Amino acid sequence: MAMSDPYDIVVLGSLNQDLVARVPRIPEPGETVLATGHSTFAGGKGANQATAAARLGARVGMVGRVGDDDFGRRLIAGLATDGIDTQFVTVDPTVGSGLALINVEESGENAITVSPGANATVGVDDVAAAAEMIAAASILLIQLEVPVAALAAAITAARGTVILNPAPAAALPSELLAGVDILIPNESELALLSALPVTDNTEVVAAAGSLPVDDVVVTMGAGGAMVVKRSGATHVAAPTVTAVDTTGAGDAFCGALAAELARGAYVEAAVRFAVRAAAVAVTRHGAQAAMPTRDEVS
Ligand code: RIB
């Protein structure tokens, strides 16, 4: 890649094949529930966020790994269809592609089990190979479905804004958070990272303000989002929609937020756009399949 041709956003993250069962309710431990149907969708938090940003007009490069299997080949091809540069998505012949086993209730609520597969073998060598692309990008967008060592190396390589979506929830070394410009947790991730209760908006603001990141954007599902900066907090409401599948809603939000920032928006304006993009995504089935285009976000 020529240095004169930088990407708006580089995503370092996961690619998963999502195996989705539509169920009347999510099974209890030890219980079997008959699904009303099933589908396969392209997923993985990294690839979902890359797709969301690309569909909204951002120029996106992706760094990650798949296995040497049909799932992996389809996942890469899907990203390329959305115009995403996949030259640094490598094929690991030693392990299968990441898989996500997802139950989706009629209410749109879901329960997800991820088997990381090749995502777990993403390493500092992958980041080193893509270091020039990462350094040149306006935004580095990362999540927690690839090893922390690779994320730390990417933060070191980045010269632009670093956005971390700390999902799935995990404790993080404070040195990693220190390199993050914008953190986008949901409420349970915020509770884990801050070790504080988040049962109402006052507690959300206090917990977000306790973290060593200047800008924290807390996603709250149908409750919208809370932007917490050193200068104060702003709540952004979400439009009311009928959700059919919330899988990837947070990814739609993160990809849309990054895409808007890359267009020069302020964080609050980008959040207002991102809640609308996520609201569209939950009205459709699948993760990447549900990501809206710019024309579809009112
Ligand atoms: O955030 C939703 C994603 O989580 C799914 O696409 C699944 O692959 C898991 O990574």
Helix (H) / strand (E) containing 235 = strand 232-236
User: Residue 231 Cα, ligand 1 centroid: separation in angstroms?
Assistant: 33
The predicted model gives 97-104 an average pLDDT of: 97
Distance 3 CA to ligand 1 centre (A): 32
Residue with CA at minimum distance from ligand 1 atom 2 = 248
Distance of CA 63 to the CA centre of its chain: 13
Over range 168-187, report the average pLDDT.
Answer: 96
**If you take atom 6 of ligand 1, which residue's CA is the nearest one?**
43
Q: What beta strand segments (E) does 74-118 contain?
A: 85-92, 98-105, 110-115
Is residue 52 predicted with pLDDT exceeding 80? Answer: yes
pLDDT tens for 105-154 read 988 889 999 999 999 999 999 999 999 999 999 999 999 999 999 999 99
Q: How far is the CA of 45 from the centre of ligand 1 (A)?
A: 5
Ligand 1 pocket test: pick from 15, 18, 115 the residue with the most ligand atoms within 8 Å of its Cβ. Answer: 18
**Distance between CA atoms of residues 53 and 37, nearest Å:** 29
- Residue 185 token pair: 């947790």
What's the pLDDT band for 2 if we cut at 50, 70, 90?
Answer: very low
Would you say 286 and 18 are in contact if contact means Cβ atoms under 8 Å apart?
yes
Q: What is the structure's pLDDT at 106? A: 87
* Nearest CA residue ID for atom 1, ligand 1: 248
Domains in the chain (CATH in brackets) are 43-89+120-290 (3.40.1190.20)
pLDDT of 1 > 80? The answer is no
Q: What is the pLDDT of residue 104?
A: 95
In the set 125, 200, 251, 295, the catalytic residue is 251
Task: Tell me whether residue 183 is exposed, middle or buried, using C-beta atoms within 10 angstroms of its C-beta: 0 to 12, 13 to 18, 19 or more.
Answer: buried
Residue carrying the six token digits 């708006």? 8
One-letter amino acid for residue 57 of the chain: G
- Do residues 74 and 17 lie in contact, with contact meaning Cβ atoms separated by under 8 Å? yes
Q: Which two tokens stand for residue 96?
A: 């299968």
Q: In the numeric block, which tokens belong to residue 183?
A: 């953190």
Name the residue of 112, 144, 188 to mutate for ligand 1: max ligand atoms within 8 A of Cβ: 112
Dist. CA 73–CA 94, nearest whole Å:
15
- For residues 60-73, average pLDDT: 98
pLDDT digits (tens, 9 = 90+) for 205-254: 999 999 999 999 999 999 999 999 999 999 999 999 999 999 999 999 99
Give the alpha-carbon dihedral of 102, 28, 246, 215, to 10 degrees: -100
Other Cβ atoms closer than 10 A to 147: 17
Q: Which of 65, 101, 247 best tests ligand 1's pocket when mutated (most atoms within 8 Å of CB)?
A: 247
- Give the pLDDT score at 298: 80
Please enumerate in sequence order all residues whose Cβ is within 8 A of that of 143, keeping only pairs 6 or more positions apart, or say none. Answer: 13, 14, 45, 46, 49, 164, 165, 166, 167, 254
Is residue 181 flagged as an active site residue? no
- Cα 167 to ligand 1 centre (Å): 10
Rounded to a whole number of angstroms, the CA Rg of the chain reads 18
Per-residue pLDDT of 7-29, as tens digits, reads 999 999 999 999 999 999 999 99
Which atom, in ligand 1's list, is nearest to the CA of 249?
1
Residue 18 alpha carbon, nearest atom of ligand 1: 8
- For residue 67 the two structure tokens come to 């296995």
- What residues flank ligand 1, with Cβ below 6 Å? 14, 16, 18, 43-45, 48, 100, 112, 114, 145, 247-248, 250-251, 287
pLDDT score at 4 = 52
In the chain, what percentage of residues exceed pLDDT 70? 99
- Cβ atoms of 288 and 55 closer than 8 Å: no
Q: Which two tokens stand for residue 82?
A: 């959305």
Is the pTM value of this prediction over 0.95? yes
For the chain, give the number of residues: 298
Answer yes or no: are the C-beta atoms of 145 and 14 closer than 8 Å.
yes
Q: What is the mean pLDDT of the chain?
A: 96
Closest CA to ligand 1's atom 9: 44
**47 Cα–ligand 1 center, Å:** 9
